[in-house]
Amino acid sequence: MLDGDNPAELQCTVVIEWLNSCGQATKRRLFKRASVTIGRNEFKEIVLRVHDGKIPHSFTVSDVQLFNRFAKDGKCTVKFLPENVQVLMSDCPPDRLSTFLKTLSIKHLAWKTSKCLGDRAKLLACKNWRFEAISPVQKKDVEKANAFQNKVNAPMAPAGHPERRANTTARAQQVKRPRNLCDFSPIKDKRPEKRPFFTLPTDYQLSREQSSVLDAVLSGKNVFFTGSAGTGKSFLLKRIVGSLPPKSTYATASTGVAASYIGGTTLHNFAGIGSGLGSLEQCLELAQRPMVLPNWTSCQHLIIDEISMVDAQLFDKLETIARSIKRSPEPFGGIQLILCGDFLQLPPVSKGKDNPKYCFQIFSNMLTIYLTKAHIVPPSSRVTEVVTGQLLKSASHSIERDGIIATRLCTHKDDVELTNENKLKQLQGPSRMFEAVDSDPHWLKLIDTICPVGRLLQLKVGAQVRTFTCLRLFYLKITYNKHVSFACSGLPRVQFLCGVTKVIKPERWVFKANGGTYVSRQQLPLKLAWAISIHKSQGMTLDCVEISLARVFESGQAYVALSRARSFEGMRVLDFNPCVVQANQDVLQFYRKLKKENVHMQLSMDLFLPKLNTGP
């Protein structure tokens, strides 16, 4: 069974510590790779079992504390109070850990509300001791867990009332141990009255083809998955990142924007080879610097998003470096590659060279999967007369709402800056400057590349901005086309498209630099949004865009621009000319071949992965 299938089982590194009364460890056991399973014992109590294939260690989950602050980094500790033992788990796939802890919390609370076995039943049960894996969380478990939590938080019954005692005990337990298992509620205490503490643990649903990619990745294959814009490649990639052990997984992308979207770093930063333009010997030397080398030595799974922009020569160099550092003749030194992108989108930066060399031209040993299900309105793959007619007609689309102007997608960076500056200048009133607080000026260049927000942000009342939300670790949620005013605190107040107004506070973005160092930028999650470059927009989904394609200079550029809008109604194309939509001939040939093979591929995938999740 794949690690990903059972929410009550985790593969990770475990340390068990037996503590004395002062909380110091008197005995310690390390399991480099163990499976941790939630189950039940003969008394139907919840048990946590650590097993490395030799002798299992089991602990009853009755009175426990949970330390889950670093769950998003794949770490947590469960302390068993009666035994005075703690189980420290690390290097857990973060998404798996989150589901595991939620399962543990719900099952534990549901068990608390159930009747204990009587003495006779216990005696009988002793005869057939066994560990039973726990059943999946059911609706009734969630209801019981919520009922328990509601009781704990219920208003006090009058003194002397029988419920008063029960409430007081439950409350006292919470006050004494603010971080007990009940705290693994995704919803904080200040929630509105009627919201439940727990809901059924549902993973965000992957489509059937997305699930098959995830399964292939979890089975250790080298995978390249592709598909048109909006087929959910980056969405799936985030899920893959959350399903692999963090210590040996590096999530990278060819551009900073794409890297921040999946909570990763740029491929260049991971590799530590500067621009990558030096000779192979120079690059190898750079990759072996003490700050960089651990990236390579610890990497077992390398994820690269927007692979279309990675130059074949660079890819080849990385492959040789990996083999050399890992001292292995296997491709990429045995590192599992997970690549994703759409080669019909922007090509590698060619810096004056005639023809960019795409890295699919040197792929080997890759399971290639073509995603077909579009999650946004897909762009037409052919510029037929009908499509041309529709795009020409879109020039008259009235997409402005509530005084909000469509975001202009520009072919050139200078146009972006000029448009945004001019629009800001045209607004009356004083401007305010917001300066970021960076953790370490030494890493300024890296922070500037990866962080979606700049060091300086100038705003005026009426400015049109896009907001970025730090979700979970540093995944991004981007919302477009909002208007700014200022609150008494001096912070910008943003009026959202849906009518809601919110004061925006600074957020902190944390990035992993080389050598395992964490660097951060604290800044308002805002950017001017009158214009954005097509290159920066690659990978984004926008609500309301205006596109001018007159100065397109690269194959794939028009396609990227035309595939950014969530819907056709949200798009206005000025001056459309079908000639600007150009695809590279090598790429077209590659995709033609791929599409032909895809039918066979899907068939063999079904054989190779008999247990597919049934997504929508």
Ligand X SMILES: Nc1ncnc2c1ncn2[C@@H]1O[C@H](COP(=O)(O)OP(=O)(O)OP(=O)(O)O)[C@@H](O)[C@H]1O
Q: Which residues bind ligand X (CB under 6 A)?
A: 205-207, 210, 227, 229-235, 342, 375-376, 539, 541, 563
Instruction: Tell me how far, at minimum, the Cβ of 582 lies from ligand X, in Å.
Output: 18
Residue 74 interface partner, choices Mg ion, ligand X, none, CB cut-off 5-8 Å depending on type: none
Nearest CA among 92, 16, 4, 94 for reference residue 51: 16
CA proximity to 180, closest of 113, 101, 90, 114: 101
Residue 263 partner contact from Mg ion, ligand X, none using kind-dependent CB cut-offs of 5 to 8 Å: none
Which tokens is 231 given? 């087929």
Helix axes 162-176, 139-153, angle to 10 degrees: 90
Query: Which one of Mg ion, ligand X, none is in contact with 229 (Cβ closer than 5 to 8 A by kind)?
Result: ligand X
Q: In what order do the strands lie in the sheet with 501-503?
A: 501-503, 492-495, 475-486, 464-471, 526-528
Whole-number minimum distance, CB 347 to Mg ion, in Å?
16
Give the shortest CB-241-to-Mg ion separation in angstroms: 13
Residue nearest to ligand X (CB): 232
**Rounded Cα distance, 420 and 530, in Å:** 6
**DSSP conformation letters of 168-205:** HHHHHHHHH-TTBGGG--SS-TTS-TTS-S-----PPP
- Smallest distance, Mg ion to C-beta of residue 318, A: 21
HSE of 523, CA atoms in CB hemisphere, 13 A: 26
The residue among 39 and 570 lying less far from ligand X, judged by its C-beta, is 570
Using the minimum distance from each CB to Mg ion, give the nearer residue, 302 or 309. 309
| Residues between 534 and 593 with contacts to Mg ion, criterion CB under 5 A | 539
Rg value, the chain, Cα: 27
What is the three-class DSSP state of 134? coil
* Residue closer to ligand X (CB basis): 4 or 230: 230
Considering CB distances under 5 to 8 angstroms, the limit depending on partner class, which of Mg ion, ligand X, none binds residue 87?
Answer: none
* Minimum distance from residue 375 beta carbon to ligand X (Å): 3
Phi, psi torsion values for 165, nearest 5 degrees: -65, -45
Q: Are strands 407-410 and 501-503 parallel, antiparallel or unpaired?
A: unpaired
State the binding partner of 376 from ligand X, Mg ion, none, CB within 5 to 8 A by kind.
ligand X
Q: Are strands 475-486 and 492-495 parallel, antiparallel or unpaired?
A: antiparallel
Q: In whole angstroms, how close is the CB of 61 to ligand X at the nearest point?
A: 33
Residues in the chain: 616
Instruction: Give min distance, CB of 345 to ligand X, in A.
Output: 6
Nearer to Mg ion, 407 or 520 (CB): 407
CB of 39 or CB of 201, closer to ligand X: 201
Least Cβ distance, residue 234 to ligand X (angstroms) = 4
Number of residues that bind Mg ion (CB under 5 A): 3
Q: Select from 124-132, 232-240, 272-280, 567-575 the region that touches Mg ion (CB under 5 A).
A: 232-240
Q: 207 is in the binding site of which of ligand X, Mg ion, none (Cβ under 5 to 8 A by kind)?
A: ligand X
Q: Binding to Mg ion by residue 234, rule CB under 5 A?
A: yes
Nearer to Mg ion by C-beta: 539 or 556?
A: 539
Burial class (CB in 10 A: 0-12, 13-18, 19+), 324: middle
**Residue in the block written with tokens 């003495």:** 119
Q: Give the nearest distance from C-beta 213 to Mg ion in angstroms.
A: 14
Q: Angle at Cα 189 formed by Cα 509 and Cα 94, nearest 5°?
A: 45
348 binds, among Mg ion, ligand X, none (CB under 5 to 8 A by kind): none
Rounded to whole angstroms, the Cα distance separating 542 from 549 reads: 17
How many angstroms separate the CA atoms of 23 and 79, rounded? 11
Closest residue to bound Mg ion by CB: 234
Joined together, the tokens standing for residue 206 give 């992957």
Given a contact cutoff of 8 angstroms between Cβ atoms, the answer to whether 294 and 340 are in contact is no
Site string for Mg ion, 525-544 (x = CB under 5 A): --------------x-----
For ligand X, the closer CB: 227 or 525:
227
605 touches, from Mg ion, ligand X, none (C-beta below 5 to 8 Å by class): none
Binds 232, which of ligand X, Mg ion, none (CB < 5 to 8 A, cut-off by type)? Answer: ligand X
Give 211 or 234: the residue with its C-beta nearer to Mg ion. Answer: 234
Name which of 233 and 564 has its Cβ closer to Mg ion: 233
Kindly tell me which of 99 and 563 has the beta carbon lying closer to Mg ion.
563
φ/ψ of 564, rounded to 5, equals -85, -30
Greatest Cα pair distance, the chain, in angstroms, is 86
Closer by beta carbon to Mg ion, 185 or else 210: 210
Rounded least distance, CB 373 to ligand X, Å: 8
Residue 497 CB, shortest distance to Mg ion, in Å, is 23
**What element of type H or E holds 210?**
helix 208-218
Contact residues toward Mg ion (CB under 5 A) are: 233-234, 539
